[in-house]
Amino acid sequence: MMALPVFSAPKLFTPTNLKSRPALVDDIIDLINDAFVRSKLPEPDKWEDPTRKRFPTRESYLEALGPDGIIFAIFDEDKIVPVAGAVLWEGGWRKKGAGVEEGWEVKAVAVHSDAKYLHQGLAVQLYAALEDISLNKKRTRSTQGCVTLWILAAECINGPYWRKRGAGGYREVRKETCGVGTWGLSKELGYVHAA
């Protein structure tokens, strides 16, 4: 009989925490890279190399988080199961909203591929934790009681997921097209900015 998972509460990590825990960063990167590769499998012809990793090194992951980034993770005993990060929003890839739009960009969300971890609402718990901490950070800078979380979603990979989440507050703001070569694309790919 398979043991039921025992999930921790979402745990917060900052880049400073992570730099002092290289083994944890390696586990996070492995989880994200596995999910990134897995997401390409339904349409491998869209990618120059469907096995290309999202973060090839610890440094590339920490650079993507930047100095102000945060991540939340949930563990099943010592195994990291889902992870989600957030960085200050800078208007997206082409900076269309830079200086006008505010908030945090949800980044590098991944859930372990084992069936016992899928469809358990783990990513949703992490989004809620990101919303809470982002709102608390906002309150320390102003008196406003709301914060915008931004998502850049690849239309063919996770666009349908974010559309289902629309009832939870995410709405399409604009669409962009990423050209050949972006993240190893062999064809153009539509991206959605949702907030």
Q: In the chain, what are the domains?
A: 11-150 (3.40.630.30)
Using 50, 70 and 90 to split pLDDT, how confident is the model at 165?
low
In degrees and rounded to multiples of 5, residue 129 shows phi and psi of -65, -40
State pLDDT tens for residues 9-55.
999 999 999 999 999 999 999 999 999 899 888 888 877 888 889 99
Give the global pTM.
0.84
State pLDDT tens for residues 95-122.
877 888 888 888 899 999 999 998 898 9
**The residue type at 144:** Q
Integer Cα distance of 34 and 23 in angstroms: 17
Strand partners, 176: 191
Q: Could you tell me which residues come within 8 angstroms of residue 178 by beta carbon, excluding any fewer than 6 positions away?
A: 93, 185, 188, 189, 190, 191
